[in-house]
Structure 1
Amino acid sequence: MDRKSMKVKAKSAFKKHYWMIVVICLFASVFGVDYTSSTWSLDLAAPTDTVQTSQGTARSSGLTDILGELVVGNEVTARKQAKHNEEQIVRNDTNAVFGRKRGVLATLINSFSSGSVIISIFDAVNTVVYNGGAAVVVPVVLAMIVYIFVWLFIRQTYKIVMCRMLLEGRSYRKLPASRFLYPIHTRKWFRMAWIMFVTSAFMFLWSLTIIGGFIKSYSYRMVPYIVAENPNIGALDAINLSRRMMKGHKWECFVADLTFIGWFLLDSITLGLSGIFYSNGYNAAFFAEYYVYVRALAKQANLDGADLLCDECLYAKADPETVRNVYADVAKAVNDLESRLAPAPKPQGLAGFLSEWLGIRILHATSVNRYEEYREDSLQLQIGKDVLNGDVYPGRLAPAPMAYRFRESRTVRSSRSYSLVNLVMMFFIFCFVGWIWEVSLAFISEGMFVNRGTLHGPWLPIYGTGGVIILVLLKKLREKPALEFLAAMVLCGGLEYFSSWYLEQTHNGQRWWDYTGYFLNLNGRICAEGLLTFGLGGLALVYLLAPALDNLLNRLDVRKLAAVAAVLLVLYCADQVYSAQHPNIGAGITDYKGSDTSQIS
Structure 2
Amino acid sequence: MDRKGMKVAAKKAQRKHYWMIVAICLFASVFGVAYTSSTLSVSTNISISTPQTEDSTQSNDMYDVLQDLAVGNENDAREKVKQNQEQIVNNDTDATFGRRRGVIASLLNSFASGSMVIAVADAINSVTHNGGVSIAVPVILSLAVYIFVWLFIQETYRIVMARMLLEGRSYNKLPASRFFYPIHTRKWPRMAWTMFVENVFLFLWSLTIVGFFIKQYSYRMVPYIVAENPNIEALDAIRLSRRMMKGHKWECFVADCSFLGWYLLNLITFGLSGIFYSNGYNAAFFAEYYVYVRSMAKTTGIAGSEMLNDEYLYFKADPQTLHTTYADVAQSVAQLEQNLVPAPKPHGFTGFLSEWLGIRILHASAVNRYEEYREDLHQMQIGENILNGSIYPGRLAPAPMPFKFRESRTISADRSYSLVNLIMMFFIFCFVGWVWEVGLAFISEDMFVNRGTLHGPWLPIYGTGGVIILVLLKKLREKPALEFVAAMVLCGCLEYFSSWYLEMTHDGQRWWDYTGYFLNINGRICAEGLLTFGLGGLTIVYLLAPALDNLLSRIDARKLGIVAAVLLVLYCADQVYSAQHPNVGAGITDYKGSDTSLEAPTPYEIRKRSDGLS
TM-score (norm 1): 0.69
Describe the shift of the 1:202–1:20 C-alpha distance in structure 2 as closer, same or farther (beyond 3 A). closer
Unaligned stretches of 5+ residues in structure 1: 440-447, 561-565
Once the two structures are overlaid, the 10-residue window that deviates more, 43-52 or 169-178, is 43-52
Unaligned stretches of 5+ residues in structure 2: 129-133, 453-457, 556-562, 609-614
1:131 is aligned to 126
Give 1:591 deviation, angstroms: 5.4
Describe the shift of the 1:398–1:468 C-alpha distance in structure 2 as closer, same or farther (beyond 3 A). farther
1:277 is aligned to 276
2:341 is aligned to 342
Give 1:472 deviation, angstroms: 3.1
2:514 is aligned to 514
- Counterparts in 2 of 1:101-120, with a 5 A limit? 104=102, 107=105, 110-111=108-109, 115-116=111-112, 119-120=114-115
Describe the shift of the 1:195–1:333 C-alpha distance in structure 2 as closer, same or farther (beyond 3 A). closer
1:442 is aligned to none
Describe the shift of the 1:316–1:201 C-alpha distance in structure 2 as closer, same or farther (beyond 3 A). closer
Give 1:356 deviation, angstroms: 3.9
Q: Is the 8 A contact 1:450 1:588 kept in 2?
A: no
1:75 is aligned to 77
SS in 1 for 2:41: coil
RMSD: 5.8
Q: Is the 8 A contact 1:492 1:531 kept in 2?
A: no
Describe the shift of the 1:412–1:321 C-alpha distance in structure 2 as closer, same or farther (beyond 3 A). farther
Q: Is the 8 A contact 1:51 1:59 kept in 2?
A: no
- Rounded to whole Å, the distance in 1 between the matches of 2:472 and 2:412 is 18
Q: Given residue 36 of structure 1, which amino acid in structure 2 is its aligned partner?
A: T
Q: Given residue 495 of structure 2, which amino acid in structure 1 is its aligned partner?
A: E
- Rounded to whole Å, the distance in 2 between the matches of 1:413 and 1:288 is 34
Residue 164 of structure 2 corresponds to residue 169 of structure 1? no
Deviations 1:88-128 (A, max 9, x none): 9867x8xx9x957688586268559xx427x2431232132
- Rounded to whole Å, the distance in 2 between the matches of 1:342 and 1:147 is 55
- Counterparts in 2 of 1:135-174, with a 5 A limit? 157-174=156-173
Give 1:556 deviation, angstroms: 9.1
- Rounded to whole Å, the distance in 2 between the matches of 1:432 and 1:402 is 42
Give 1:475 deviation, angstroms: 1.3
- Rounded to whole Å, the distance in 1 between the matches of 2:394 and 2:268 is 41
- Rounded to whole Å, the distance in 1 between the matches of 2:352 and 2:325 is 42
- Rounded to whole Å, the distance in 1 between the matches of 2:68 and 2:12 is 48
2:14 is aligned to 14
Q: Given residue 470 of structure 2, which amino acid in structure 1 is its aligned partner?
A: L
- Rounded to whole Å, the distance in 1 between the matches of 2:306 and 2:20 is 31
1:25 is aligned to 25
SS in 2 for 1:344: coil
2:596 is aligned to 593
Describe the shift of the 1:516–1:433 C-alpha distance in structure 2 as closer, same or farther (beyond 3 A). same
1:326 is aligned to 325
Give 1:427 deviation, angstroms: 4.2
Residue 123 of structure 2 corresponds to residue 121 of structure 1? no
Identity among equivalent positions (%) equals 51
Structure of greater Rg: 2
Give 1:269 deviation, angstroms: 0.4
Q: Is the 8 A contact 1:512 1:590 kept in 2?
A: no
1:228 is aligned to 227
- Rounded to whole Å, the distance in 1 between the matches of 2:234 and 2:431 is 38
Give 1:319 deviation, angstroms: 2.1
Deviations 1:297-334 (A, max 9, x none): 55567677655543221122112321122223333443
Give 1:377 deviation, angstroms: 1.4
Give 1:205 deviation, angstroms: 9.8
Q: Is the 8 A contact 2:101 2:517 kept in 1?
A: no
Deviations 1:515-566 (A, max 9, x none): 5899993x43136x5797478x26x954x88425668889999989xxxxx9
- Rounded to whole Å, the distance in 2 between the matches of 1:373 and 1:226 is 43
2:41 is aligned to 41
Give 1:22 deviation, angstroms: 1.8
Deviations 1:154-175 (A, max 9, x none): 6565444332221111111222
Describe the shift of the 1:530–1:77 C-alpha distance in structure 2 as closer, same or farther (beyond 3 A). closer
- Counterparts in 2 of 1:522-541, with a 5 A limit? 523-526=522-525, 533=531, 537=534, 541=537
Describe the shift of the 1:455–1:309 C-alpha distance in structure 2 as closer, same or farther (beyond 3 A). farther
- Rounded to whole Å, the distance in 2 between the matches of 1:154 and 1:507 is 48
1:359 is aligned to 358
Once the two structures are overlaid, the 10-residue window that deviates more, 373-382 or 420-429, is 420-429
Give 1:39 deviation, angstroms: 2.0
- Rounded to whole Å, the distance in 1 between the matches of 2:152 and 2:431 is 20
Deviations 1:490-520 (A, max 9, x none): 4212222144347767798355333589999
SS in 1 for 2:57: strand
- Counterparts in 2 of 1:264-413, with a 5 A limit? 264-296=263-295, 299=298, 307-346=306-345, 355-359=354-358, 366-408=365-407
SS in 1 for 2:261: helix
Once the two structures are overlaid, the 10-residue window that deviates more, 312-321 or 512-521, is 512-521
Q: Given residue 107 of structure 1, which amino acid in structure 2 is its aligned partner?
A: A
Once the two structures are overlaid, the 10-residue window that deviates more, 507-516 or 548-557, is 548-557
